[in-house]
Amino acid sequence: MARAEEEGARKPGMTRRSVLGAGAAMALAGSGALRSVPAGPKAEWRNRQPGMAYRRLGRTGMMISEVISGGDPIKLDNYQHLELALERGLNYLDMAPAYNDGDTERAYGKLLAAAPGRRDKVFLTTKISDFSEQVERMYRDIFKELPTEKQEAIRKRARELREQRAVDKPGYYLTYFPGQPNQFEGSYLRAAMMPDYAHRVEGSPALGRFMAESLEGSLKRVGTDHFDVVMCPHGANTPDELQCPEILAGFERLKGQGKVRFLGVTSHNDPAGVLRAATRAGHYDVVMMAYNVINGAYLEDAIRQAAAKDVGVIGMKVAHAVATHHQSLQPIPQWRIDKVERIVPGDMKPPVKAYLWALQNPRISAVISNLWNAEFVRENLSVAGKRVTLRPA
C-alpha cells in the first residue's frame, strides 16, 4: 500500500468519523524540512503527497495542505481540474449551500464519487449559509413593532457601536464582493438590540432546526455522511453573532449524530474582532477569515491569541486584495498591487505573491484559493512549502 493510502486508512474498529491517529505530529514543509507542531491531538493525515506542504489545523489535529480549494469556481461543469490538485496533495475542500445555488456541493460530490475511497482522503468543510440572516429577520420583526422613539434609540446605538469598533477603517476593511458593505446595517441593528431582546431570539429552537436542515441538505448534495468542519455563522459581521447559544447547541446535536466533527466560523467584516470572539468562546475549533497583505497588520495580535489557544486559522480573501473576478470591483487599486510586489521577492503574479506572503506566517494553517482551472492549480499550489524573506513595505 502506498504511503498516502496508509496515512488515510482506518484502523480496524475505527469508524470513518473517528479521528485518525496515523502520522507524526509534525507539519511537512515543501523543502523536506520539518517544522514542529504544538502538543495536542495526534496528527491526522490525508492524501499526503511529495511536493505538498501541510500544517496542523489547530486542535483539530487535521494536517491540511497549505493551499486549499475554495468553492466559488466549482460547478457541475467546472470541477475536473481538481483531479490535478488532488494528485499534487491538496486535501481540503471548502463549500457552502450558498455557492452556485448548491451546485458547488454537487460538483464536489461528483469529484468524490469519481474514485473509490476518495472521501476518506480529503477533509470536507461546509457552512450554514444564511444563518445570520435568519437571526436578523427575527430581530427586524421585533423592531417593526417598537415605538418610533425606541427604534431611533436602537439605530443610534447601532451607529455608535459601529463607530467605536472602527470596522470601516480603510486598510482594515476591504470590499471583496458586491453587496458586502450592506451587511453591516442588519448586523449592527442586531447587536444594538441584543441587550434587550436576545432572550426572544438567540435561543430560539427554530435556529437549531435551521442548522440541521441546512446541514442535511449539504450532506445529500455532496453524497457523504459527515463533514469534518461546519462553519456557523457563514460570514459573521460582528463578534456579537458568536454569542448565539443555539450555534453550540445545534452543533453538539449534529456532532452527537456523527454528522460533523468540528465547529468553525468565517468572517469578511471585522475579522480580528470575530477571531478574538471565537477564541474567547472556547468551542470554536477553526476560524476562516479575511487576511491579506493589506489588512494583515490589524490581525496579528488576534492571530497570536488564537494560536495560544490552539484555534486553527485559515486565511481567505488572501489574493482578493490584489485581484478579483467581480467586474464591479475592477480595477484593483494599483497601490495594493505595488505593495505586494515590493514585499514579496520573485517573478510571480501578484495573486501568487499574495498567497506566498500569507504563508510566511507560521500561525496560519492554510490559504484558501479559488482554483478556476488547471493553470490556477499549478500556479497557486506552487507556493506550498516555499519560504522567502519578506521585504519592508
**Peptide bond connecting 331 to the previous residue in cis, omega within 30 degrees of 0:** yes
Torsion of CA 362, 364, 369, 374, to 10 degrees: 30
Over the chain, what is the mean pLDDT?
Answer: 91
Binned at pLDDT 50, 70 and 90, residue 14 comes out as very low
Spatial distance between the Cα atoms of 62 and 30, rounded to a whole number of angstroms:
17
User: Per mean pLDDT, which range of 30-34, 244-248, 346-350 is the poorest?
Assistant: 30-34
Average pLDDT over residues 268-287: 98
State the pTM of this model.
Answer: 0.90
What CATH number does the domain located at 3-129+208-381 have? 3.20.20.100
What 3-state DSSP class applies to 314? strand
Longest dimension (CA), the chain: 71
Strand pairing class (227-231; 123-127): parallel
Provide, for the chain, the percentages of residues in helix, strand and coil under a 3-state DSSP scheme, each rounded to the nearest 5. 45, 15, 40
124 Cβ contact list (under 8 Å, min separation 6): 93, 95, 108, 222, 224, 227, 228, 229
CA end-to-end span of the chain: 48
pLDDT at 41: 75
Q: What percentage of residues in the chain have a pLDDT greater than 70?
A: 90
What 3-state DSSP class applies to 217? helix
pLDDT at 11: 33
Binned at pLDDT 50, 70 and 90, residue 8 comes out as very low
β-bridge mates for residue 290, sequence order: 316
Of the candidates 189, 305, 308, which has an alpha carbon nearest to the alpha carbon of residue 237? 189
Q: Which CB contacts under 8 angstroms, 24+ apart, belong to 333-338?
A: 336/293, 336/294
Burial 64-91 (b: 16+ CB within 10 A, else e): bbbbbbbbbbbeeebbebbeebbebbbb
Spatial distance between the Cα atoms of 272 and 301, rounded to a whole number of angstroms:
8
CA atoms within 13 A on the CB side of 323: 14
Binned at pLDDT 50, 70 and 90, residue 39 comes out as low
pLDDT per residue over 158-175, tens digit each? 999 999 999 999 999 999
Binned at pLDDT 50, 70 and 90, residue 252 comes out as very high
Quick check: 123 and 90 in contact, CB under 8 A? no
2 Cβ contact list (under 8 Å, min separation 6): none
In the chain, where are the structural domains located? 3-129+208-381, 133-201
User: Per mean pLDDT, which range of 24-33, 175-184, 226-235, 334-343 is the poorest?
Assistant: 24-33
